[in-house]
Amino acid sequence: MTRRLTVILVLLIAAAFAGGLWWVFNRPALPSDTLTVYGNVDLRYVSVAFNQPERIAEVLVQEGDLVHKGERLATQETKRLKPALDDAEAEQAAQQKLVERDHKGSRPQEIDQARAALAAAEAEAVYAKQQYDRLQGIGIESHNRAVSRQDLDSARSALDVAKARVDQAQKTLDLALLGPREEDVARDEAMLRAMAARTALARQHLADTVLLAPVDGIIRTRLLEVGDMASPDMPVYSLAITDPKWIRTYVSERDLPRIHEGMKAQITTDGLPGRSLDGWVGFISPQAEFTPKNVETPDLRTSLVYEVRIFVHDDANLLRLGMPATVRIDGAATPAPAS
């Protein structure tokens, strides 16, 4: 009897131990504060092209080169644009002098000349008046028929002409004192602005013959060569933007409430064992989609998922386009804050 009880007791202990082991290995997992997702490195691209059609003179960078914003990438020929700029600058300079003359008014010498002309006209008028009065007086007092009507008319006509010259000289002096008309000044100033605009445009055309990098990045593709005709719709380079890079991944609807924008993340790749990069959740798609074929997840491919972008600063340029990456989002058990 005692032996039977001992066997039963041993069996009960063994069953309890086995049950304990089963519970340890099969118990429901506690909610983790880290969400692990998988994706690939993605980049944005810029098609870099000249602003005007012209033949390429130089190609300064190669595929794979790291370039910085403002760096020279290529140049165009300038043999047509430089003369055009010189011509525009010359026309603007000439018009500028004309406007300066308008604002300064008449020169002192021109005013003095107008005054001298007026004085001469007045002297001629005085002499003509004296001649007319003398002939008229002779004819009235002596009834001398030697003074004909024709002589008197000629003297009168000469006096009228002299008075007209005085009036003309006076108006010439007035105009010299007043200077150019306001309408003429406004017209000349408007022409100067138009010429300045043409000069600025010609100068910009010349500056546009140098192709500059719009952002920091890596030359992905060189599309044109020296001698090719470049134009705004024909890019010279395809430039991959390196900052920021992001990991394009997908999260199931079940895990979506666990994350929100701004959460910290760690990015690792098979090519960088033991090393991780810091990142953050930068974008969560508001629309669900079926799992893309190029994404490996533990879930079924037919399930609905949401695109998530994990942004990362990669100063050492370790991540390459399309590289598979593992992302661990810290604090993912915390519910997303209400927006």
Residues 16-55: tens digit of each pLDDT: 556 554 544 554 444 457 888 899 988 888 999 999 999 9
Helix%, strand%, coil% for the chain, nearest 5: 40, 25, 30
Q: What is the mean pLDDT of the chain?
A: 78
- Do 34-43+242-330 and 45-77+206-237 show the same overall fold? no
Between these two residues, 155 and 98, which has the higher pLDDT value? Answer: 98
* Structure tokens belonging to residue 99: 């406007």
What is the per-residue pLDDT across 242-260, written as a single tens digit (0 to 9) for each?
Answer: 878 889 998 888 888 888 8
**Domain definitions of the chain by residue range:** 34-43+242-330, 45-77+206-237, 85-204
Q: Per mean pLDDT, which of 92-96, 139-143, 148-152, 186-190 is the most reliable?
A: 92-96
* Residue from 113, 214, 246, 227 nearest 172 by CA: 113
Q: Which of 3.40.50.2300, 3.30.70.141, 2.40.50.100, 1.20.120.1460 would CATH assign to domain 45-77+206-237?
A: 2.40.50.100
Q: From CA 250, how far away is CA 235, in angstroms rounded?
A: 33
More confident residue, 60 or 161: 60
Burial of 94 (0-12, 13-18, 19+ CB in 10 A): exposed
Rounded Cα distance between 237 and 291, Å, is 33
Quick one: 79 exposed, middle or buried, by C-beta within 10 A (0-12, 13-18, 19+)? exposed
Tokens standing for 24? 């340890």
Q: What's the CA gap between 256 and 47, in Å, rounded?
A: 35
Distances in whole angstroms, Cα of residue 186 to Cα of each of 172, 182, 199: 22, 6, 20
SS3 state at 225? coil
Q: How many CB atoms lie within 10 A of CB 217?
A: 24
Enter the tokens of residue 262: 């701004």
Tokens representing 101?
A: 């003359």
- pLDDT band per the 50, 70, 90 thresholds, residue 169: confident
Mean pLDDT score, 117-121: 74
Strand order in the sheet with 72-76: 210-212, 72-76, 54-59, 229-230
pLDDT of residue 19: 58
What number of other Cβ atoms are within 10 A of residue 158's Cβ? 17
Q: Cα(135)–Cα(149) distance, rounded to whole angstroms?
A: 10
How far is the C-alpha of 163 from the C-alpha of 288, rounded, in Å?
Answer: 98
Exposure of 219 in the CB half-sphere (CA atoms within 13 A): 23
In 210-302 the beta strands, taken as DSSP E runs, fall at 210-212, 217-222, 229-230, 237-252, 264-268, 277-290
* Closest alpha carbon to 42 in 267, 294, 247, 183: 247
Distances in Å between the Cα of 130 and the Cα atoms of 95, 124, 125, 145, 156 are: 50, 10, 9, 20, 10
pTM of the model: 0.58
CATH topology of domain 34-43+242-330: Elongation Factor Tu (Ef-tu); domain 3 (2.40.30)
DSSP structural state of residue 231: B
Please say if the pLDDT value at position 181 is more than 70. Answer: no
